[in-house]
Amino acid sequence: MAAGPVGAVAFGWLSFSNPDLPERLRLGAPRTPYSQRTFYGGEAERYTDYPTLAEAAAE
Protein backbone atom coordinates (compact mmCIF):
# COMPACT_ATOMS: atom_id res chain seq x y z
CA MET A 1 0.00 0.00 0.00
CA ALA A 2 1.40 3.38 -0.98
CA ALA A 3 1.72 6.17 1.55
CA GLY A 4 0.93 9.79 0.86
CA PRO A 5 -1.93 12.25 0.55
CA VAL A 6 -5.29 11.14 -0.72
CA GLY A 7 -7.80 13.00 -2.85
CA ALA A 8 -10.91 11.95 -0.95
CA VAL A 9 -12.02 9.67 1.84
CA ALA A 10 -15.60 8.46 2.36
CA PHE A 11 -16.96 6.90 5.53
CA GLY A 12 -20.68 6.74 4.72
CA TRP A 13 -22.79 5.09 7.40
CA LEU A 14 -20.11 5.36 10.10
CA SER A 15 -20.36 9.13 9.95
CA PHE A 16 -24.12 9.00 10.66
CA SER A 17 -23.70 7.41 14.08
CA ASN A 18 -20.42 9.08 15.02
CA PRO A 19 -20.66 12.87 14.88
CA ASP A 20 -17.02 13.04 16.01
CA LEU A 21 -15.71 10.30 13.69
CA PRO A 22 -12.34 12.00 12.90
CA GLU A 23 -11.58 12.26 16.63
CA ARG A 24 -12.57 8.62 17.25
CA LEU A 25 -10.32 7.47 14.40
CA ARG A 26 -7.45 9.61 15.66
CA LEU A 27 -7.76 8.14 19.16
CA GLY A 28 -8.46 4.58 18.03
CA ALA A 29 -11.71 4.83 20.03
CA PRO A 30 -14.66 2.51 19.39
CA ARG A 31 -17.32 3.60 16.94
CA THR A 32 -21.03 3.77 17.80
CA PRO A 33 -23.01 1.22 15.78
CA TYR A 34 -25.56 2.75 13.43
CA SER A 35 -29.24 1.91 13.19
CA GLN A 36 -30.09 1.54 9.51
CA ARG A 37 -33.82 1.90 10.22
CA THR A 38 -33.24 5.57 11.09
CA PHE A 39 -31.52 6.52 7.82
CA TYR A 40 -33.29 9.25 5.83
CA GLY A 41 -36.75 8.90 7.18
CA GLY A 42 -38.99 8.87 10.17
CA GLU A 43 -38.39 11.12 13.14
CA ALA A 44 -35.20 12.72 14.41
CA GLU A 45 -34.53 9.79 16.76
CA ARG A 46 -30.99 8.55 16.30
CA TYR A 47 -30.49 10.54 13.11
CA THR A 48 -29.57 13.63 15.10
CA ASP A 49 -28.87 12.38 18.62
CA TYR A 50 -25.99 9.89 18.46
CA PRO A 51 -23.60 10.80 21.28
CA THR A 52 -20.08 12.09 20.79
CA LEU A 53 -17.24 10.21 22.47
CA ALA A 54 -17.17 12.78 25.29
CA GLU A 55 -20.95 12.53 25.81
CA ALA A 56 -20.81 8.72 25.89
CA ALA A 57 -17.99 8.80 28.46
CA ALA A 58 -20.00 11.17 30.66
CA GLU A 59 -22.96 8.75 30.78
pLDDT digits (tens, 9 = 90+) for 7-57: 777 778 888 888 899 899 999 999 988 887 767 666 666 656 788 888 888
Contact 24, 30 (CB under 8 A): yes
**Cα three-residue angle 15-7-35, rounded to 5 degrees:** 15
Distance (Å, whole) CA 32 – CA 4: 28
Domain-located, residue 24: yes
**pTM for this predicted structure:** 0.59
Q: Is residue 17 part of a domain?
A: yes
Q: What is the DSSP letter of 18?
A: -
Domain membership of residue 33 as a residue range: 13-58
Structural domain total, the chain: 1
